[in-house]
Amino acid sequence: MEIGELTYFTIRFFKEVFRRPYEFKEFLRQCYSIGNRSLLLVGITGFIIGLVLTLQTRPTLMEFGAVSWMPSMVGISIVREIGPMITALVCAGKIGSGIGAELGSMRVTEQIDAMEVSGTNPFKYLVVTRVMATTLMIPLLVIFGDAIALYGSYLVEHLKGDVSFALYFNQVFDSLEFGDIVPATVKSFFFGLAIGLVGCFKGYYCKKGTAGVGIAANSAVVFTSLLLFIIDFIAVFVADIFYDL
Amino acid sequence: MKKQQAILEKDKKKESSEEVVLELQDLNKSFDDNHVLKHFSMKLYKGENLVVMGKSGSGKSVMIKCLVGLMEADSGKIIVMHHDITSLNQESLDILRADIGFLFQGSALYDSMTVRENLEFPLRHHYKKLGKNVNTETLVIEALKNVGLAHTLDLMPAELSGGMQRRVALARTLILQPKIILYDEPTSGLDPITAKEIIILMQDIQKKYNTSSLIITHDVDCARVIADRMILLIDGTNYAEGTFEELSASKDPKVKAFFKQ
């Protein structure tokens, strides 16, 4: 039932996104709000992931005399999988729940009805701008998170193995291929789309008063997280066909 | 003397126009087995203040939401200024909505926007209606002056009291210069003094702009002051209709119950 409604909601989004008038000002405001507010959280998470991944992997690689492979291994795993997935999950928690709660409270306090009654299209103003903003900002946040995670990994290598900045990052970029970067970036756009759509859907159709706002925020996170794993699986499956990973 | 003057004013209004600006014909609305509106019909005349009274859950809010297209009626006709809104497409409905002001029960101010932005918001898509040379700033200030809150321009809704929020919401309703204003419980949640201020404001607006008003309420004092005509909504039907004086003198126990409050 809910999947059917979400599909209809998604179709409506794609119809409205190309229709005038465009809400550029609100779109830019949402981009700033979504991107700027998540920078710190994504940065800290990325940094810790980089540190932990390197610290955990180092002893095993040392056992096999393959510590020199560390930058390549960390680079590929962060860019291909860990970076986009962790960033998307963090953003689902922060941005998805925020959108769900904001639109949910607007629904129960009749603010969305007030927009509709004034002859404005609330779907365009509230939903299209937010979904567009998450679709655009999540890939940028993923790139930022990846860079911070790699820097965290470099710090561990620098402190434990005396590896220079240039050597570490040369090895990282040498090991990365087109087939690592493109699918990861493309799936980040879909992650952003999913976060925005589910958050907006849950909030826009929020029911049951103020209790419903909490339910909308919570279910936005749960449903988005599940959807992210499904999108990730599909993305890996498709990338495997095209790039023979 | 005052009473006579009021009667004269009401008669004047009646004479001035018998034009129907809003009409509901045989409206039905159910939620599963709960039949909220059953063959409900009513008319609102130009320049008239029509009060619809009913108990909580009697379908007043459902009726007013069907009227502006926020809810879809199961059957029946809703004619607003000669347009049947049930057969209008979204674009035409949005244009028509510019002529209908709606004051929500909880004010429904956009809490992420300042008072100024709240008032500017409806103008974004309807500036054509007000003419090309319209100055947004002037319109906003004039609307706020009408409700005596010109000094709140850059405040956030959360910084205003309940009564002030209601007045700002009324200013937002007025900014598009609507021909019909729908009030959903305009005095609910307000103290008696603020409620009285809101009622006086509604009267002033009606006089100044000659708007037609449909007022949904269960506040007898509000109805007494403002109603030119009243409808009692009981069990989803138009149970009784008349002036405040006529209905308050009724011997029907169901009607009497309202005025005993």
Distance between CA A191 and CA A188 in Å, rounded? Answer: 5
pLDDT at B11 (0 to 100): 53
- pLDDT at residue A165, rounded to an integer: 92
**Total tally of structural domains belonging to chain A:** 1
Please tell me which residue of chain B has the smallest CA distance to A115: B122
Which residue do the tokens 């679709």 mark? Answer: A135
Judging contacts by C-beta atoms under 8 Å, the chain A residues touching residue B122 are 118-120
What residue of B is the nearest CA neighbor of A111? B108
| Contact (CB, 8 A) for A129 and A23 | yes
- Chain mean pLDDT for chain A: 92
pLDDT at B16: 52
Is position A19 within any domain?
no
pLDDT tens digits, one per residue of A16-46: 999 888 889 999 999 999 999 899 999 999 9
Residue holding tokens 């570490």?
A168
Which candidate from B102, B112, B126 shows the least CB-CB separation from A117?
B102
Nearest-by-CA chain B residue for A117: B97
CA dihedral B235, B239, B243, B245 (to 10 degrees): -80
Residue A243 inside a domain? The answer is no
Q: Please indicate, yes or no, if residue A244 is contained in any of the structural domains.
A: no
Q: Determine contact: A33 vs chain B, CB below 8 A.
A: no
Q: What is the pLDDT of residue A113?
A: 93
Q: Is A114 on the interface with B (CB under 8 A)?
A: yes
- In DSSP terms, which residues pair with B45 in a beta bridge? B20
pLDDT at B131: 64
Confidence of residue A86 (pLDDT cuts 50, 70, 90): very high
Q: Return the closest-CA partner of residue A157 out of A57, A42, A46.
A: A57
Burial of B241 (0-12, 13-18, 19+ CB in 10 A): middle
Closest to B165 measured CA to CA, from B146, B138, B140, B190: B190
Find out whether B17 and B9 touch, Cβ atoms under 8 Å: no
| d(CA B7, nearest CA chain A) in Å | 34
Whether A128 has a pLDDT exceeding 70, the answer reads: yes
Q: Is residue A245 part of a domain?
A: no
Q: Give, as one character, the DSSP assignment of residue B44.
A: E
Are A119 and B111 within 8 A, CB to CB?
A: no
**In B119-226, where do the E strands start and end?**
180-184, 212-217
Provide the ipTM.
0.85
Q: How confident is the model at residue A241 (pLDDT cuts 50, 70, 90)?
A: confident
B108/A121 touch (CB, cutoff 8 Å), yes or no = no
Residues of B in contact with A106 (CB under 8 A): 110
Instruction: Please tell me which residue of chain A has the smallest CA distance to B71.
Output: A113
**Residue A242 included in any domain:** no
| Residue A208 reports pLDDT greater than 70 | yes
CA distance B246 to B261: 17
Whether residues A109 and B106 touch (CB distance < 8 A) is answered with yes
Which domain range does residue A163 map to? 2-14+24-237
CB within 8 Å of chain B, chain A residues 2-31:
21
Distance separating the N- and C-terminal Cα atoms of chain B: 27
Tell me, what's the pLDDT at B10? 56
Each residue's pLDDT tens digit in chain B (261 positions)? 455 555 555 555 554 557 899 999 999 999 888 889 999 999 999 989 999 998 888 888 899 999 998 999 999 999 999 889 888 888 888 888 888 999 998 889 999 999 999 999 888 777 666 666 678 888 899 889 988 888 999 999 999 998 899 999 999 998 888 999 999 998 888 888 888 888 998 988 888 888 999 999 888 888 898 999 999 998 888 899 999 999 988 888 888 888 875
